């Protein structure tokens, strides 16, 4: 952790009472949904973290509570520095303010997170699904979503699987 | 009378097989093999498929090359519907035939869930010679079409 990062991390920890962990030479800040936007605004304006590299989520069901962690990675081009931010979210359908007000690149990241995990972003300009069809139900990357596979069709269960296969009417 | 219809069948089927125009429908990795089959070393032009039309209105063979996701399926069906009769479909590769390695919620388990397929080609991806074998099998199939079954 170099001096620039340590200054930024200390300030955020002091102002927003955030936790910080060092994972493999990189600092990860743990914020809450209320302090999420102000802290990142501070990082962007004062400490030069001007690029959002990644915004995804992780589902830790059923091992951990809170279940979802929103993961962001911020990059500072001037200082060649990367910083991780995690927001633990409670509940099965959490919501938090959108990051598009600070970084326009967050738009598609947040659409993907909504599509795959069901985490809603308030104030998002285009809240549609990104990967699945627009009228899909369910959020596929959650741990309690079924795999959705089709049984392999061997000779002994050929008819049973063939009965369920959809066919075009022509 | 039988002679006339036989000769007519032969003529029409011959002309259909010898100038089938494929529609560009390369979705994923199989498209690379389709492109290499079209290129100079394994030439598809010698079978009459000189050009691959991008427009479905001007083609009569749809080579579905690659995995079809659930989001792409209505698009594929719409393009198939836009092709004029007579039309044939070759499902190229494992993903178009049966879902391939992707046995999950997002990939169609075989393109024959939405369009009727004439020839399936196995392989991941099939070699260009495999695709050419499929085209020749399709030509054999078309040669056997009868007058009263023409669409």
With a CB-CB cutoff of 8 Å, which residues 98-137 of chain A face chain B?
Answer: 131-133, 136
| Whether A168 and B116 lie within 8 Å, measured CB to CB | yes
- Bridge partners for A59 per DSSP: A68
Contacts of B114 in chain A (CB under 8 A): 166, 168
- Pick from A102, A122, A110, A84: nearest CA to A41: A102
| Whether B116 and A170 lie within 8 Å, measured CB to CB | yes
For A24-170, strand residue ranges (E) read 26-30, 51-59, 68-76, 81-89, 95-97, 120-122
Q: pLDDT tens digits for chain A (170 residues)?
A: 577 777 777 777 777 777 777 777 788 888 888 888 888 888 888 888 889 999 999 998 888 778 899 999 999 888 888 888 889 988 888 988 999 999 998 999 999 999 999 999 999 988 889 889 998 888 989 988 888 787 888 888 888 888 888 888 76
Q: Which domains does chain A have, with CATH numbers?
A: 3-164 (3.30.460.80)
| Whether A148 and B115 lie within 8 Å, measured CB to CB | no
Residue of chain B whose Cα is closest to the Cα of A167: B113
The complex scores an ipTM of 0.75
The predicted-structure confidence for B10-58, as pLDDT tens digits, reads as follows 888 888 888 889 987 889 889 999 989 988 889 888 888 888 878 889 9
Residue A122 contacts residue A98 (beta carbons within 8 Å):
yes
Residue B92 contacts residue B64 (beta carbons within 8 Å):
yes
In this complex, is the C-beta atom of A149 within 8 Å of any C-beta atom belonging to chain B?
Answer: yes
- Domain definitions of chain B by residue range: 2-145
A144 token code pair: 């309690």
A113 token code pair: 């997170």
Q: Output the CATH code of domain B2-145.
A: 3.40.50.12280
Which distant-in-sequence residues (6+ apart) come within 8 Å of A103 by Cβ?
A44, A51, A52
């Amino acid at each position: 952790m170099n001096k620039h990062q340590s200054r930024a991390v200390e300030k955020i920890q002091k102002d927003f009472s955030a936790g910080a962990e060092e994972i493999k030479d990189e600092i990860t800040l743990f914020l809450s949904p209320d302090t999420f936007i102000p802290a990142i605004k501070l990082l962007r304006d004062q400490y030069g973290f001007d690029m959002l590299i990644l915004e995804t989520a992780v589902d830790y069901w059923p091992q951990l509570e809170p279940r979802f962690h929103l993961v962001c990675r911020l990059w500072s081009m001037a200082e060649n520095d990367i910083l991780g931010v995690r927001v633990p979210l409670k509940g099965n359908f959490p919501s938090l303010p959108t990051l598009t007000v600070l970084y326009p690149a967050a738009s598609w990241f947040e659409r993907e997170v909504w599509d795959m995990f069901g985490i809603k972003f308030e104030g998002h300009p285009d809240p549609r699904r990104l990967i699945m069809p627009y009228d899909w139900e369910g959020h596929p990357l959650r741990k309690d979503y079924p795999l959705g596979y089709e049984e392999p069709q061997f000779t002994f269960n050929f008819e049973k699987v063939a009965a369920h296969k959809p066919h075009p009417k022509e | 009378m039988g002679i006339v219809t036989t000769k007519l069948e032969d003529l029409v089927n011959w002309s259909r097989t010898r100038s089938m125009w494929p529609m560009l429908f390369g979705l994923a990795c199989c498209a690379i093999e389709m492109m290499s089959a079209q290129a100079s070393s394994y030439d598809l032009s010698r079978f009459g498929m000189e050009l691959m039309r991008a427009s479905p209105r001007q083609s009569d063979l749809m080579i579905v090359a690659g995995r079809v996701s659930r989001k792409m399926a209505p698009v594929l069906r719409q393009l198939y519907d836009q092709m004029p009769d007579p039309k044939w479909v070759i499902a190229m590769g494992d993903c178009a035939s049966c879902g391939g390695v992707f046995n999950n919620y997002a990939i169609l388990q075989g393109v024959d869930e939405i369009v009727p397929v004439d020839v399936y080609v196995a392989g991941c991806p099939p070699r260009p010679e495999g695709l050419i074998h499929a085209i020749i099998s399709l030509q054999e199939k078309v040669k056997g079409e009868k007058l009263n079954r023409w669409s």
